A and B are shown apart, each in its own frame.
Chain A
Amino acid sequence: MQLPFGDYLVGNSLYPLALDLFTPTIFFFFFSASYRVFRYFAVYKKPFIPYATSVTRETSSTEKVKKLVDTFANSSKVGMKRKPVTTAVGLLMHLSLIVIIFLLAQHMIFWAYYISPYKILFPLAIPESSVDGELAFTLATSPYTPTSYPFVHDIWGPLTIILNGQYITYILVILLGIYLGHKFHALAEGLTLRSGDWWFFLLLYIDIILGFLATSHIPDSVAYYDNLLGAHILVAEILIATLPFTRGFHMFEFYLGKIREWYFMTYRRGEK
């Protein structure tokens, strides 16, 4: 379907195609994720537990909960001590990525369109550029037109001068650039590199740049905007669809692995 927008027919671009492919992408993701999870069940062997209880070991519930937090924090703690630069880059990159994917106002509207309860997070929305924050800070500007939804810097206030899509994207491009350098270093050293590393990483990099170009209207034309935004969504869809076959799946398995570690090492106290 093509909708008129001035002289330009909206729809004659990648944008509607990308939107049409979103639901199939999610289905494909669930199908692939189910395959990945099914494999765990297929090879599951019930562990034999020699000791049901132990007379020499006990630990309080408070200690167990405290250690759950420690279990998740340990990688970062040790990393900051022994590999401070790469760990800091990694942490900042993850944080920036999470903020931009889930809290950028435009993204939030997209998610809420498909998952209505997502609206509950709207008060946390961050704007796409620093201008909003700057205006809020210098002129205390409020929305010209009253809106039923919270304004983008209701909660963050002047913090949006730095906490916005524009600056976070700059940070991400730099941090992912450092990651890219890290990969070339590994390549030069003849260390482990997998095709999946490049696939996920490059798609992510491209997607961030496409999103940035679209939002920044570079080049400044509606036709380019539609195509860039469409390409941005399409690349994200490829990422989501292939997630269960790439390192991207760690966003789910991270919790599985760490909770498993905590269960055996803290909850069962090694009494596996």
Chain B
Amino acid sequence: MAIAEAKVDMEALNKAIDEVFYSQLDSTLLYYFQACVNCKACEAACPFTPTSLHYSPVNKAEVARQLYRYRFTVWGRTVGRVIGGSKKYLSLEEAETMVDYAWHCVNCGSCAFVCPMAIDSGAMIDLLKQVAFKAGMGPKVYRDIAELEASGKYLEIDFFKNSWNSLISKIKDAIGKEVPLDKKGSEVLFYASIYEALAYPDVLVKVAKILDMLNKDWTFMSKPLGIRPPIGLVIGDKDGAVKVMQRVYSYFTDISPKYVMLTAGGFEYPALRYTMHETLKVEPKYEVVHVTELLAKWYENKEFEIEPLDEIITWHDPCQLGKRGGVFEAPRILMKALSKKFKELPSHGVNSFCCSGGGGGCGLPSMVNNMAKALGIAISDDDKKFLDKTSEPLIKAGKIKVGEINKIKAKEVLTGCPVCIESINFQIDYYHANSKVNHIVDILADRIKVSKK
């Protein structure tokens, strides 16, 4: 991303570097910083490496390591400075590279599993993202969206209000009765964000239909808790994210369900399941789960049966749900019930090849463009360049992803994350493949037969 000199406040950048690096060192990060042997094994798993070797995890994280070495090692302060191994601050050109690198990482965690030292390069690149945000160098369109969410002003936007209300009335039509809203003490709090309401309203309606069919004690939110909360986490706005998490936690605690059920397996899953409680240092009385976890549990309890399909289907593990969240088995229980011809993708589980959307990208360029348009947020030339550039990894990584789908001849690719659906659909269209990508609930809802007890 080109950043004009006049637009970069170098003083703010230096301050941000100091603040981020001096405030966050712990033994885990220290290990990530000093244990890397530069073997570049991480290149094999990163969805951005096919775009350029410069975007390999080790190369991107090296900027963070250079800043770390100056601050935390004797060598970094002495010899390291002379031989370019450490840096106190960044030049304008280095800062531009840092921003470019930070936005070419979706924090999918693939590098951590393939690294012989189990180093999570994404955690170091996330520090760079925080620096960029604090210094006002992140893409403006994302900063505007994050600000809207953190301030709570998103609730005043007609476009969002209408989308949400329209979703509630669609659910009402589908279940043929009033939607239970904000009902305290329900077994299941059916959670969704505005982003999902815009990305796949039909999936949300089908989830509600399943809950109703199974006669569950459930409730839905009368108002969304954010655009895609806590969106600040993925764009480097840690303070904003904390504010949003407090709001979300307070609502969850107020409703006090047994389960908070998400249909999104993107960053929301680990963020709301783990990060929120770790950050606020609270032990929840409820459990945050993905819809597949609850459905698999109910299916195993024989609460319903699944009428199988007669076609080859496969499961794409969303990185945040799988690698970050540890959910691998539950979707597979459902997938195996859905078709005897269920096949694993060549790369699956912890080695699932990331779609390269989401995470830092927070959505495809088209989705961001549409949302910005609806919100009246102007897309600057720099932002336009940024968004255009995010298509390149989708195309390059897509070649691998679509190749894998074609290899097993899957008719249906099912998954559990709105961004994965959009990204892989983009890739399938680009390479003219003959598959479809859907949320698992999309297919499952029509094939569930409630068991008579």
Q: How close is A31's CB to chain B, nearest CB, in angstroms? A: 14
Does any Cβ of A come within 8 Å of B4's Cβ? no
Contact A261 B281 (CB under 8 A): no
Contact B289 A56 (CB under 8 A): yes
Q: How close is B320's CB to chain A, nearest CB, in angstroms? A: 11
Query: Roughly how many angstroms separate A77 CA and B40 CA in the complex, as a whole number?
Result: 15
Contact A43 B351 (CB under 8 A): no
Q: Mark B58-80, 1 if CB is under 8 A from A, else 0.
A: 11001000000000000100011
Does any Cβ of A come within 8 Å of B283's Cβ? yes
Within 8 A of B (CB), among A231-272: 245, 247, 249-250, 253-254, 256-258, 260-261, 265, 269-272
Contact status of A50 and B274, CB under 8 A, knowing A36-B34, A79-B44: yes
Number of interface residues of B (CB under 8 A): 57
Contact B118 A48 (CB under 8 A): no
Residue of A54, A189, A192, A196 touching B287 (CB-CB under 8 A): A54
Contact B284 A78 (CB under 8 A): no
Contact A74 B31 (CB under 8 A): no
Contact A50 B115 (CB under 8 A): no
Does any Cβ of B come within 8 Å of A4's Cβ? no
Q: How close is A41's CB to chain B, nearest CB, in angstroms? A: 7
Contact B35 A78 (CB under 8 A): no
Q: Which residues of A contact B119 (CB under 8 A)?
A: 257
Residue of B112, B278, B347 touching A261 (CB-CB under 8 A): B112
Contact B56 A191 (CB under 8 A): yes
Within 8 A of A (CB), among B26-42: 26-27, 30-31, 34-41
Does any Cβ of B come within 8 Å of A149's Cβ? no
Query: Roughly how many angstroms separate A55 CA and B285 CA in the complex, as a whole number?
Result: 12
Contact A45 B297 (CB under 8 A): no
Q: How close is B283's CB to chain A, nearest CB, in angstroms? A: 6
Contact B38 A74 (CB under 8 A): no
Contact status of A50 and B326, CB under 8 A, knowing A192-B59, A257-B117, A257-B118: no
Contact A48 B287 (CB under 8 A): no
Does any Cβ of A come within 8 Å of B83's Cβ? yes
Q: Which residues of A contact B297 (CB under 8 A)?
A: 56
Measured CB to CB, the nearest residue on chain A to B109 is A265
Residue of A192, A253, A265, A269 touching B350 (CB-CB under 8 A): A265
Residue of B35, B40, B113 touching A250 (CB-CB under 8 A): B35
Contact A39 B30 (CB under 8 A): yes
Query: Roughly how many angstroms separate A194 CA and B117 CA in the complex, as a whole number?
Result: 17
Contact status of A90 and B39, CB under 8 A, knowing A44-B26, A192-B62, A270-B325: yes
Contact B278 A56 (CB under 8 A): no
Contact A51 B75 (CB under 8 A): no
Within 8 A of A (CB), among B115-153: 115-119
Query: Roughly how many angstroms separate A75 CA and B39 CA in the complex, as a whole number?
Result: 11
Q: Which residues of B contact A79 (CB under 8 A)?
A: 41, 44, 114
Contact B44 A83 (CB under 8 A): yes
Measured CB to CB, the nearest residue on chain A to B276 is A50
Measured CB to CB, the nearest residue on chain B to A182 is B40
Contact status of A74 and B326, CB under 8 A, knowing A41-B27, A261-B113: no
Q: Which residues of A contact B96 (CB under 8 A)?
A: none
Contact A74 B75 (CB under 8 A): no
Contact B325 A257 (CB under 8 A): no
Residue of B284, B324, B326 touching A271 (CB-CB under 8 A): B326
Does any Cβ of B come within 8 Å of A143's Cβ? no
Contact B35 A43 (CB under 8 A): no
Contact B287 A47 (CB under 8 A): no
Contact A43 B26 (CB under 8 A): yes
Q: Which residues of B contact A254 (CB under 8 A)?
A: 116-117
Q: How close is A271's CB to chain B, nearest CB, in angstroms? A: 7
Q: Which residues of B contact A269 (CB under 8 A)?
A: 326
Q: How close is A147's CB to chain B, nearest CB, in angstroms? A: 40
Measured CB to CB, the nearest residue on chain A to B289 is A56
Contact status of A194 and B34, CB under 8 A, knowing A78-B44, A260-B118, A261-B118: no
Most buried by B among A41, A48, A86: A48
Measured CB to CB, the nearest residue on chain A to B400 is A82
Q: How close is B314's CB to chain A, nearest CB, in angstroms? A: 18
Query: Roughly how many angstroms separate A77 CA and B44 CA in the complex, as a whole number?
Result: 11
Q: Which residues of A contact B113 (CB under 8 A)?
A: 74, 78, 261
Q: Which residues of B contact A74 (CB under 8 A)?
A: 113-114, 350-351
Q: Which residues of B contact A56 (CB under 8 A)?
A: 287, 289, 293-294, 297, 330
Query: Roughly how many angstroms separate A253 CA and B28 CA in the complex, as a whole number?
Result: 12
Q: How close is B299's CB to chain A, nearest CB, in angstroms? A: 13
Q: Which residues of A contact B75 (CB under 8 A)?
A: 245
Q: Mark B216-228, 1 if CB is under 8 A from A, else 0.
A: 0000000000000
Q: Which residues of B contact A43 (CB under 8 A)?
A: 25-27, 30
4 tightest Cβ-Cβ pairs between the two chains A and B: A270-B326, A50-B277, A257-B118, A261-B118
User: Would you list 18 pairs from A and B whose C-beta atoms are within 8 A, ordered by A residue?
Assistant: A40-B30, A43-B27, A47-B278, A50-B282, A56-B330, A74-B350, A78-B44, A78-B347, A78-B351, A79-B44, A83-B43, A194-B85, A197-B38, A247-B38, A250-B116, A254-B116, A257-B35, A258-B118
Q: Taking beta carbons and an 8 Å cutoff, which residues of A are in contact with B?
A: 36, 39-41, 43-45, 47-48, 50-52, 54-57, 74-75, 77-79, 81-83, 86-87, 90, 186, 189-197, 245, 247, 249-250, 253-254, 256-258, 260-261, 265, 269-272
- Contacts A57-B326, A87-B41, A192-B62 aside, 20 further interface pairs with beta carbons under 8 A come to A36-B34, A43-B30, A51-B283, A51-B287, A56-B294, A56-B297, A78-B347, A79-B44, A81-B346, A81-B347, A87-B44, A90-B39, A90-B41, A192-B59, A196-B85, A250-B116, A250-B117, A257-B31, A261-B113, A270-B326
